[in-house]
Amino acid sequence: MNTVNASTGFSPFQLRMGCSPRLIPPLIPGGENKPESISARELIERIALDVSEAQDNLLAAKISQSEFTNCHRNDEVIYKVGDKVMLSTENRRCKYMQRHSGRTAKFMPRFDGPFVVTKANTAKSAYTLDLPNKPDRFPTFHAAQLRKHIPNDDKKFPARKLPQPGPVITLDGQEEWLIDRILDEHVHGKSRQFLVRWRGWGPEEDRWLPGRELADTEALDNWLNS
pLDDT digits (tens, 9 = 90+) for 19-43: 777 666 666 665 555 556 777 788 7
> Does residue 163 share a domain with residue 143?
no
pLDDT value at position 84?
Answer: 92
Q: What is the mean pLDDT of residues 93-108?
A: 66
> So what's the pLDDT on residue 85?
93
**The total number of structural domains that make up the chain:** 3
Out of 41, 70, 99, pick the residue that ends a domain.
Answer: 70
Same domain assignment for residues 90 and 124: yes
Higher pLDDT, 127 or 171: 127
Indicate whether 195 belongs to any domain: yes
pLDDT (0 to 100) of residue 128: 92
Question: Higher model confidence: residue 114 or residue 107?
Answer: 114
> CA-to-CA distance for 202 and 161, rounded, in angstroms?
10
Cα–Cα distance for residue pair 101/63, rounded to 1 Å? 45
What pLDDT, on the 0 to 100 scale, is given for residue 31?
53
The confidence band for 161, taking pLDDT boundaries of 50, 70 and 90, is low
Work out the average pLDDT over 211-218. 84
Task: Please choose, from the candidates 48, 63, 37, the residue with its C-alpha nearest in 3D space to the C-alpha of residue 10.
Answer: 48
Q: Which domain holds residue 180?
A: 158-225
**Residue of 163 and 220 predicted with greater confidence:** 220
**Cα dihedral 166, 172, 174, 178 in deg (nearest 10):** -50
Domain assignment present for 117: yes
Q: What is the pTM of this model?
A: 0.48
Indicate if 50 and 93 belong to the same structural domain.
no
For residue 126, the model assigns a pLDDT of: 92
Using CB atoms within 10 Å of the CB of residue 182, give its burial: 0 to 12 exposed, 13 to 18 middle, 19+ buried.
Answer: buried
Q: Select from 189, 185, 224, 225 the least CA-distant residue to 207.
A: 185
**Nearest 5 degrees, angle CA 158-CA 160-CA 161?**
75
Query: Does the residue 90 lie in any domain?
Result: yes
Predicted confidence (pLDDT) per residue in 116-157, tens digit:
999 999 888 899 998 876 667 788 999 888 999 988 777 777
CB-based contact 220:194 (threshold 8 Å): yes
